[in-house]
Chain A
Amino acid sequence: AQSVTQLDSQVPVFEEAPVELRCNYSSSVSVYLFWYVQYPNQGLQLLLKYLSGSTLVESINGFEAEFNKSQTSFHLRKPSVHISDTAEYFCAVRPSYGKLTFGQGTILTVHP
């Protein structure tokens, strides 16, 4: 079985500041790792995913996440956030064949 822990339930930041949303996971098998974003009153959208290869993955809107196998972490970062990044972010894991397991979510609020 897998489990995911998002270490911060809420992260308030000012516009143009850097941000890190932390995610740790536990699994007895190899897993794929995902970050989903949920904008207010919308469904979840895939932000980025780690499958294999380079441990640093990037999204089209400036977010990046680094897979750290030894620390079983997959933290999400952005060097400079915008107001439009305000959303809830979910870390998720899935084994090669199996179902997604989601973390509890982190609400990112970007203040002007």
Chain B
Amino acid sequence: NAGVTQTPKFRILKIGQSMTLQCTQDMNHNYMYWYRQDPGMGLKLIYYSVGAGITDKGEVPNGYNVSRSTTEDFPLRLELAAPSQTSVYFCASSYYQGGDNEQFFGPGTRLTVL
């Protein structure tokens, strides 16, 4: 049981390039989330999904897109990368949302946009 896995671990992009951050979970969780973590800012929710085919915006969705074609995978797409997207990105999953349900986090992807 690998939990939540993310690839790549590190990436450097040039301004205007695009990339996809991959996230996979093997716990059969319905809910999946993408956060970005910036120093001194905590974690901000970018997008989340309540199940295959259903996604919704979080607090900071601009510049990102997501899709959820399967229960296991929740990729995050960056189109036209900007320096403001330099951050550490975490994917998380949970069985359901709310209450005492624990979110499980992946190890993160450290992205630098130059």
Q: On chain A, which size bracket covers the interface?
A: 20 to 34
Please state if B100 and A104 are interface contacts (CB–CB under 8 Å).
no
CB distance from B21 to the nearest CB of A (A): 14
CB distance from A38 to the nearest CB of B (A): 8
Report whether over half of chain A's contact residues are helix, strand or loop; otherwise say mixed.
loop
Known contacts A43-B90, A43-B108, A44-B90, A90 near B99 by CB under 8 Å: no
Known contacts A43-B4, A102-B43, A104-B42, A95 near B105 by CB under 8 Å: no
Please state if A94 and B42 are interface contacts (CB–CB under 8 Å).
no
Question: Which of A12-20, A45-53, A60-68 lines the interface with chain B?
Answer: A45-53
A98 interface residue (CB < 8 Å to B): yes
- Chain B hits for A98, CB < 8 A: 97-98
A94 to B48, CA, bound (A): 15
Please state if A43 and B100 are interface contacts (CB–CB under 8 Å).
no
A-B pairs under 8 A by CB, number: 54
B26 interface residue (CB < 8 Å to A): no
Please state if A97 and B97 are interface contacts (CB–CB under 8 Å).
yes
CB distance from A41 to the nearest CB of B (A): 8
Can you list 29 A-B contacts (CB < 8 A)?
A9-B40, A32-B99, A32-B100, A43-B4, A43-B90, A43-B105, A43-B106, A43-B108, A44-B90, A44-B92, A45-B105, A46-B102, A46-B103, A49-B102, A51-B100, A90-B42, A94-B99, A95-B98, A96-B98, A97-B98, A97-B99, A98-B97, A99-B45, A100-B45, A100-B103, A102-B44, A104-B40, A104-B41, A104-B42
Q: Chain B interface (Cβ within 8 Å of chain A)?
A: 4, 40-45, 48, 58, 90, 92, 97-100, 102-103, 105-108
Q: A41-B108, A43-B4, A49-B102 are in contact. List 10 more A-B contacts (CB 8 A).
A: A32-B99, A43-B90, A51-B100, A90-B42, A90-B43, A96-B99, A97-B98, A102-B43, A104-B41, A105-B40
